[in-house]
Amino acid sequence: MGDAITDQYTMLDSERDGEVLRIWLDRPHKLNAIDPVMLREVGDLFQSLEREHDAKVVVLGGKGRSFSAGADRRPEPDPDAPTSTRGKRWYAHLGRRACRAIEDCEIPTIARVQGHAVGGGMCFALSCDFRITTAGTQWYVPEVELAVPLTWAAIPRLIGEVGAARARQLVMLAERIDGSKAADWGIAHECVADEDLDAAVDRWAARVAALPELAIHMTKTTFRGYSRLTSMGDASEADADLIALANLHPDAAAIWRPQP
């Protein structure tokens, strides 16, 4: 389905449903795996939503069986990748920039999460204001198992949502949890059966849209300000450097750059 909002994007789709704007990760053949092009498009799109004054709710979902299965470990070459030293560092910040754009969206956001919320997919969902999931959804951040640190400012964001103890368990131990446990831990706001997901998302969207628009916008801004306090000590400003350093280690090289 085409829409003027996403006509310029290759990995995102969108539709308007009254006061609800639905944004879809659109790589179902790859379980919406995230590559640099998708990161760039998500960041650009969500930054542009500050001009969407007719929308009261944004729903972020993934087409097909999964919200997102995480990083695409065999991405297609990106012809727009910068080649300068500073450009390469900016490029390595695309994930952090995309999550920050979702988090800073002027419109309340709801993540519609099914199948997988793995790695960067979980980071996308955590950046939304509300998260609705299904019981069988796998929530998982595998970065430590992949010999790289979890970046994109995800750790302070996760601590702010579920507390340091649960965040440490999820990130340091790369623990897999299902949608029911995600709801129990406060990662998701509601867990439903697969067939009830759309109805639950619609119910949450209607609930948000029915509230006084200015009041909810100002309140979201307040929450966003307080969340900055929890991230003052995080290392996300150096995401690019952390990723580059970790990738130099032979453990990471063996996983991310398999020898032919």
Domains with residue ranges and CATH for the chain: 12-195+213-256 (3.90.226.10)
pLDDT greater than 70 at residue 222: yes
- Strands (DSSP E) contained in the chain are 12-17, 20-25, 57-62, 109-113, 116-118, 130-134, 138-140, 177-178, 190-192
Average pLDDT for the chain:
90
Residue type, 192: V
Structure confidence at residue 255 as a pLDDT band (50, 70, 90): low
Digit-coded pLDDT (tens) for 120-176 = 999 999 999 999 999 999 999 999 999 888 989 899 899 999 999 999 999 999 999
Q: If pLDDT is split at 50, 70 and 90, which confidence band does 67 have?
A: very high
| Confidence tier at 1 by pLDDT (50, 70, 90) | very low
Is the torsion defined by CA of 159, 143, 83, 124 positive or negative? negative
pTM beyond 0.95: the answer is no
Strands 20-25 and 12-17: antiparallel
Sign of CA dihedral 65, 186, 140, 88: positive
Rounded CA gap, 77 and 93, in Å? 17
Residues contacting residue 34 through CB under 8 Å, at least 6 positions apart? 68, 70, 71, 72, 95, 119, 120, 121, 124
First to last CA, the chain: 39
Confidence of residue 260 (pLDDT cuts 50, 70, 90): very low
Angle at 190 between CA 185 and CA 105, to 5 degrees: 95
Q: Are 49 and 16 in contact (CB under 8 A)?
A: no
Q: Write down the pLDDT at residue 208.
A: 98
In this prediction, residue 105 has a pLDDT band, given cuts at 50, 70 and 90, of very high
In this predicted structure, the answer to whether residue 253 has a pLDDT above a threshold of 90 is no
Q: Is the pLDDT of residue 109 over 60?
A: yes
Distance CA(30)–CA(7), nearest Å, equals 21
* C-alpha–C-alpha distance, residues 67 and 242, integer Å: 26
- DSSP-derived 3-state class of residue 146: coil
